């Protein structure tokens, strides 16, 4: 059978679709800490789990001040919505991720890239800081049962809501899912929870 240019285009499109599998069916659970009122969320997708935990700006300030960061750098990262993040390979196979492929969508529908660990380290090095702990690694290869944790930073005002779109691959098949209903932490805990 002869292939025409249109047949070639259709064949290439089918091959690309076979190698990319949008998931968009994450099972999301939400918890609220009774003592603090802060939220955490877990999204479970095809072979990949991600948990995001609200962190207060003062907690972030305390961490970086304890590592002798310049005040301007402390305030810069504290101005972001920072989440404790735990990602896990639940697939039983080799899994790859790259935070540079992830993005968030604000309540107005605008898409934004995440500021990655490499972006932060580059900024800190220019400020004379040699520190690389605390942040979620940009990318990684996970084997069965592997997990990783660190901070994820989102540049939005306090208590903003947003959707995170995240991607990963298992055995060269790419997956995409969305994490809806996320909200930045407040500046401080509500008064009734601090008494």
Question: For the segment 46-85, what is each residue's pLDDT rounded down to a tens digit?
Answer: 899 999 999 999 999 999 999 999 999 999 999 999 999 9
The pLDDT of residue 25 is 72
Question: Max Cα separation, the chain?
Answer: 78
Looking at per-residue pLDDT, the higher value among 13 and 176 belongs to 176
Average pLDDT, rounded, for the chain: 88
DSSP string covering 136-179: PPSEEEE-TT-EEEEEEEE---TT-EEEEEEEEEETTEEEEEEE
The region of weakest confidence among 6-10, 22-26, 33-37, 163-167 is 6-10
- Domain parsing of the chain, residue ranges: 23-194
pLDDT digits (tens, 9 = 90+) for 170-182: 998 999 999 999 9
Q: Specify the length of the chain in residues.
A: 195
Which residues have CB under 8 Å from 105's CB, separation 6+? 111, 112, 162, 163, 165
Inform me whether the pLDDT recorded for 149 exceeds 90. Answer: yes
Please determine, for residue 17, whether its predicted confidence score (pLDDT) is greater than 90.
no
The sign of the dihedral angle between the CA atoms of 170, 174, 180, 185 is positive
| 125: CB partners within 8 A, 6+ apart | none
Q: What is the pLDDT of residues 94-143, one digit of tens each?
A: 999 999 999 999 999 999 999 999 999 999 999 999 998 999 999 999 99
Residue 8's pLDDT is 35
Whether the per-residue pLDDT at 20 is higher than 60: the answer is no
């Amino acid at each position: 059978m002869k292939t025409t240019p249109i047949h070639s285009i259709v064949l290439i499109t089918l091959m690309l679709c076979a190698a990319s599998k949008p998931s968009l069916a994450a099972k999301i659970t939400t918890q609220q800490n009774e003592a603090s009122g802060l939220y955490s969320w877990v999204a479970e997708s095809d072979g990949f789990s991600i948990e995001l935990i609200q962190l207060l700006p003062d907690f972030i300030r305390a961490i970086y001040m304890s590592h002798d960061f310049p005040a301007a750098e402390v305030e810069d990262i504290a101005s972001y919505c920072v989440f404790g993040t735990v990602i896990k390979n639940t697939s039983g196979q080799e899994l790859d991720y790259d935070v540079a492929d992830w993005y968030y969508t604000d309540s107005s529908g605008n898409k934004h890239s995440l500021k990655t660990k490499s972006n932060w380290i580059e900024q800190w090095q220019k400020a004379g800081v040699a520190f690389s702990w605390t942040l979620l690694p940009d990318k990684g290869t996970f084997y069965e049962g592997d997990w990783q944790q660190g901070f994820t930073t989102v540049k939005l005002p306090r208590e903003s809501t947003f959707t995170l779109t995240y991607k990963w691959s298992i055995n060269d098949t790419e997956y995409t899912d969305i994490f809806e209903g996320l909200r930045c932490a407040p500046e401080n805990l509500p008064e009734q929870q601090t008494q």
